[in-house]
Amino acid sequence: MGDVARLAGVSAQTVSRVSNGFPGVTEETRRQVLAAMRELGYRPNSAARALRRGEFRTLGVITFSLSTMGNMRTLDAIATSAAREGYAVTLLPVAVPTQDEVNGAFSRLGELAVDAVIVILETHLLDAATVSLPPGVPVVVADSDAGDRYTVVDTDQAGGAREAVRHLLDLGHGTVWHLAGPEDSFAAQRRTNAWRETLTAAGRTPPPLVRGDWSADSGYRAGLRLADEPGCTAVFAANDQMALGLLRALHERGRLVPEEVSVIGFDDIPEASSFLPPLTTIHQDFAEVGRLCVEGVLGKMRRETSGHGTTLVPTRLVRRHSTAPPPNR
Amino acid sequence: MGDVARLAGVSAQTVSRVSNGFPGVTEETRRQVLAAMRELGYRPNSAARALRRGEFRTLGVITFSLSTMGNMRTLDAIATSAAREGYAVTLLPVAVPTQDEVNGAFSRLGELAVDAVIVILETHLLDAATVSLPPGVPVVVADSDAGDRYTVVDTDQAGGAREAVRHLLDLGHGTVWHLAGPEDSFAAQRRTNAWRETLTAAGRTPPPLVRGDWSADSGYRAGLRLADEPGCTAVFAANDQMALGLLRALHERGRLVPEEVSVIGFDDIPEASSFLPPLTTIHQDFAEVGRLCVEGVLGKMRRETSGHGTTLVPTRLVRRHSTAPPPNR
DNA sequence: CCAGTGAATGTTTACGTAAACATTCATTCG
DNA sequence: CGAATGAATGTTTACGTAAACATTCACTGG
């Protein structure tokens, strides 16, 4: 900065003013400074800036390393929204979803150049971890409950699951089987609970729960079992990948979809419309979740908002061709 | 730091030594300093550290916002490898793949707290952009040619495509159709070129090219056309998503896979094994690409390596059930 | 027993920037 | 015509850290 100032024949402060677009600089002076900057290839040093200003203009995102599609898309939306606000996004990958790893990520975070944190993580791992967060750092949690302890932004998991089950009941199915996600996922839990409640509220008996691990393979294995259940005419899979595996298993067992068995997914991944048959599913607005996460932490940083609470992003039923009325008996 | 020093009854420099794990501090003193740190909730200020040390321990990654699966997985591997080396990863999303956007990302980068840059981007967009990169910042490019101008790490696209075509020819198919990716993608180009060359080298005539845009939908539309080609018994799709759409189109048109038509994909996405039928495809090692990218920039930063060149990560044929010998005529 | 040695710790300084305050100087107005 | 005004620019300082150098002091060997 000093070199630029010398070359332009001004003081360093004037260079600073130009570099920050502050008023009170003659057009003439500004041009000279800009010319000097270009000639010397000047770049403001962001470390010095951050030190001086006390902020990094950077958001940290903690998430699992080999994460799900949905998390990736949320991350993508976060990065885009943050960029629009002039913030960069720093990734804090957690290799394995264990408490130790999460604690490690949070303690690294303590030393990290970050103004706020967005967490995309299962709540139970979060509980013990947050203690090591530097106090005063705004946090928003995606994909979790804990609205009483943190600010949470999430898809309306329960609403979506309810919509899925209702759709199948409305088509005339006596009950709806459920291919659930892993036990330790809160999103999976909420979908499962909503499934059970909707069924019970409609006076139906929930069939035994079938559990997968989000992967298409686990959906396939579960599907093999479900194909042999004679009374099974409708299945609500907790995500599209498992629905894909389910579809394959039913096909291999000669069970027609949707004529004999209806299948509905959750997420609406881009490929869902190309499944065989095209999958009816619950659309999640990941972009909106990401946007609201960024809005949330920025609001906290500007002290506009405070306190906790949960913001729910609505889902949408996408009707395609994997659901139909049950076969006549 | 001063407060900690005062509380521990030592100088700030000793606090610094403890905080950096330097030798030459009595165990007794160290304990006292650590206790003071804990009591005051001291966190080293990373801006000041970066300013003092001249490095941020952060890698920048430039990539498209709504990116492909593969890019996401590469990013994931980069973040993991970087974390292992003590580096954080900052994302520089490019909203739209236009020259303007890329230029914008690069100029934001100039002010960003980043020691090196990994670019996951099509080369033609890169060419005009790099000029604005601060000189001396190590760059590694993934998923691109340009080995003469940058250090490049990439999947062996040509090798993979060759393997795919050979596999189909070995099964006895007279020729292989190709469902290509978008024209402006270099990965797609290389796969297409290798397809053509392998066919020509084997003395076969390449059928007309069918083009998609990586999406399952475009694969579906292309598949509708291919289903009506009487001579078409084998198709090499440039990625698994398009293969999925292709599978659906062929199914709808009553063309059996693999009995009548063989289909091979590229990528080996986790879902590929659950397609109908499970997809034979070319496995890409995204994790290795990411790892090598990080290794590349770190090597450059330590001045161990320099100059350009391309590192190719080998692919692997994964045989599943979407390919078979052609039907007897 | 004293000079010499080296480990432990302290002091000074600079990293690049921007806020706060100070100065200059042309203009305006009574 | 001189004081007052305010825009343009300059000077000083502090942000938190760590490298370089300085000091202290206990201990060793001659």
Contact between B321 and B261 under an 8 Å Cβ cutoff? The reply is no
- Shared domain for B199 and B305, answered yes or no, is no
CA distances from B262 to B11, B164, B233, B326 (A): 74, 11, 6, 8
Hey, are the CB atoms on A271 and B271 less than 8 Å from each other? Answer: yes
Contact between B59 and B142 under an 8 Å Cβ cutoff? The reply is no
CA distances from A106 to A60, B24, B297 (A): 10, 29, 26
Assign B253 to helix, strand or coil: coil
- Shared domain for A195 and A230, answered yes or no, is yes
**Residue whose CA lies closest to nucleotide D10 C1':** A11
Give the H/E segment covering residue A117: strand A116-120
- Shared domain for B174 and B270, answered yes or no, is yes
**Stretch A130-135: mean pLDDT, rounded?**
62
In a domain, B326, yes or no: no
- Whole-number Å distance between alpha carbons of A129 and A89: 21
Q: B261: which residues sit within 8 A by CB, 6+ positions away?
A: B226, B227, B232, B233, B234, B235, B250, B255
- Shared domain for B87 and B61, answered yes or no, is yes
CA of A295 to C1' of D8 (A): 38
Give residue A129's pLDDT band: very low, low, confident or very high (50, 70, 90): low
In a domain, A74, yes or no: yes
- Shared domain for A163 and A280, answered yes or no, is yes
- Shared domain for B193 and B75, answered yes or no, is no
Give residue A285's pLDDT band: very low, low, confident or very high (50, 70, 90): very high
pLDDT in tens, chain B (329 residues): 889 999 999 999 999 999 988 888 899 999 999 999 989 888 888 899 999 988 888 999 988 765 677 888 899 899 989 988 888 899 887 766 677 777 777 777 777 788 999 988 765 666 656 556 667 788 898 877 766 778 899 999 999 999 999 999 999 999 999 999 999 888 899 999 999 999 999 999 999 999 999 999 999 999 999 999 999 999 999 999 999 999 999 999 999 999 999 999 999 999 999 999 999 999 999 999 999 999 999 998 887 677 788 899 999 999 999 999 999 86
Token pair, residue A224, equals 């093999």
Token pair, residue A99, equals 């408490």
Tell me what pLDDT residue B92 has.
82
Chain C bases having any atom below 7 Å from a protein CB: 7-12, 14-20
Runs of H (alpha helix) within chain A: 2-8, 12-19, 27-40, 46-53, 69-84, 99-110, 123-129, 157-170, 186-201, 216-227, 240-252, 286-301
- Shared domain for A183 and A253, answered yes or no, is yes
> Which protein residues have Cβ within 7 A of any strand D atom?
A 9-14, 17, 23-26, 28-29, 48, 51-52; B 1-2, 12-13, 16, 19-20, 43-45, 48-49, 51-53
Smallest CA–CA distance, residue B218 to chain A, in Å, is 10
Report chain A residues whose CB lies below 8 A from the CB of B133.
none
In a domain, B132, yes or no: yes
In a domain, A325, yes or no: no
Smallest CA–CA distance, residue A89 to chain B, in Å, is 5
Hey, are the CB atoms on A56 and B113 less than 8 Å from each other? Answer: yes
Token pair, residue A153, equals 């932004």
- Whole-number Å distance between alpha carbons of A179 and A262: 13
Q: Is the CB of B25 under 7 A from strand C?
A: yes
Q: Which of A179, A170, A158, A159 is nearest to A232 (CA)?
A: A179
**Stretch A222-237: mean pLDDT, rounded?**
95
Of A44, A108, A248, which is closest to B274 when you measure between CB atoms?
A: A248
Interface residue of A111, A274, A275, A286 to substitute, partner B, most B CBs within 10 Å: A274
Q: What is the CATH number of the domain that holds A134?
A: 3.40.50.2300
Tell me what pLDDT residue B25 has.
87
Interface residue of A271, A281, A294 to substitute, partner B, most B CBs within 10 Å: A271
- Cα dihedral B103, B106, B111, B112, rounded to 10, equals 140
CA of A315 to C1' of D6 (A): 58
In a domain, B161, yes or no: yes
Strands (DSSP E) along chain B, which ranges? Answer: 58-64, 88-94, 116-120, 139-142, 151-155, 177-180, 210-211, 234-237, 262-267, 280-283, 309-313, 316-318
- Whole-number Å distance between alpha carbons of B307 and B289: 19
Token pair, residue A253, equals 């067992």
CA of B114 to C1' of D4 (A): 50
Q: Which of B74, B62, B54 is nearest to B136 (CA)?
A: B54
* Domain coverage including residue A205: 157-285
Tell me what pLDDT residue B126 has.
64
Tell me what pLDDT residue A100 has.
74
Contact between A102 and A58 under an 8 Å Cβ cutoff? The reply is no
Contact between B136 and B170 under an 8 Å Cβ cutoff? The reply is no
Q: Which of B69, B59, B125 is nearest to B92 (CA)?
A: B59
In a domain, B318, yes or no: no
Assign B304 to helix, strand or coil: coil
Percent of chain A with pLDDT over 70: 92
- Shared domain for B213 and B256, answered yes or no, is yes
Q: Which of B315, B164, B144, B162 is nearest to B243 (CA)?
A: B164
Tell me what pLDDT residue B17 has.
92
- Whole-number Å distance between alpha carbons of B180 and B265: 11
- Whole-number Å distance between alpha carbons of B142 and B292: 9
**Residue whose CA lies closest to nucleotide D7 C1':** A24
Of A91, A270, A278, which is closest to B91 when you measure between CB atoms?
A: A91
Token pair, residue B47, equals 């801006």
- Whole-number Å distance between alpha carbons of A177 and A61: 36
Hey, are the CB atoms on B90 and A92 less than 8 Å from each other? Answer: no
* Other CB atoms within 10 Å distance of the CB of residue B148: 9
User: How long, in residues, is chain B?
Assistant: 329
Give the H/E segment covering residue A265: strand A262-267
Mean pLDDT of the residues in chain A: 89
Shortest-distance nucleotide from B4 CA to C1': D16
Q: Which of B44, B39, B41, B43 is nearest to B8 (CA)?
A: B39
Tell me what pLDDT residue B130 has.
56
- Shared domain for A271 and A293, answered yes or no, is no
CA of A24 to C1' of D3 (A): 25
Q: B127: which residues sit within 8 A by CB, 6+ positions away?
A: none
CA distances from A230 to A71, A169, A210, A234, A263 (A): 36, 18, 15, 11, 15
Contact between A8 and A31 under an 8 Å Cβ cutoff? The reply is no
Report chain B residues whose CB lies below 8 A from the CB of A88.
90-92, 108, 112-113
Domain count, chain A: 3
Name the DSSP class of B234. E
Tell me what pLDDT residue A66 has.
59
- Shared domain for B75 and B116, answered yes or no, is yes
In a domain, A105, yes or no: yes
Smallest CA–CA distance, residue A80 to chain B, in Å, is 6
CA of A197 to C1' of D2 (A): 88
Token pair, residue A272, equals 């869902």
* Last residue in a domain, options B249, B268, B285: B285
- Whole-number Å distance between alpha carbons of B179 and B266: 11
Shortest-distance nucleotide from A49 CA to C1': C17
Hey, are the CB atoms on A93 and B83 less than 8 Å from each other? Answer: yes
Q: Position B295: which residue type?
A: E
- Shared domain for B74 and B168, answered yes or no, is no
Tell me what pLDDT residue A123 has.
59
Contact between B178 and B206 under an 8 Å Cβ cutoff? The reply is yes
Give residue A65's pLDDT band: very low, low, confident or very high (50, 70, 90): low
DSSP string spanning A75-89? HHHHHHHHHHTT-EE
Q: What is the CATH number of the domain that holds A25?
A: 1.10.260.40
Indicate if the pLDDT at residue A136 is higher than 80.
Answer: no
The strands making up B58-64's β-sheet, listed across from edge to edge, are A309-313, A151-155, A139-142, A116-120, A58-64, A88-94, B88-94, B58-64, B116-120, B139-142, B151-155, B309-313
Shortest-distance nucleotide from B16 CA to C1': D18
In a domain, B242, yes or no: yes
Q: Which of these ranges, A217-221, A246-250, B186-190, has the smallest mean pLDDT?
A: B186-190
Token pair, residue B130, equals 């790099």
Hey, are the CB atoms on B76 and A56 less than 8 Å from each other? Answer: no
Report chain B residues whose CB lies below 8 A from the CB of A72.
72, 76
Tell me what pLDDT residue B34 has.
92
Hey, are the CB atoms on B90 and A89 less than 8 Å from each other? Answer: yes
Smallest CA–CA distance, residue B173 to chain A, in Å, is 26
Nearest chain A residue to B79 by CA distance is A93
Smallest CA–CA distance, residue A44 to chain B, in Å, is 6
- Whole-number Å distance between alpha carbons of A139 and A130: 10
Q: Which of B144, B120, B106, B116 is nearest to B69 (CA)?
A: B120
Indicate if the pLDDT at residue A130 is higher than 80.
Answer: no
Contact between B65 and A80 under an 8 Å Cβ cutoff? The reply is yes
Assign A141 to helix, strand or coil: strand
- Shared domain for B66 and B109, answered yes or no, is yes
CA of B23 to C1' of C5 (A): 19
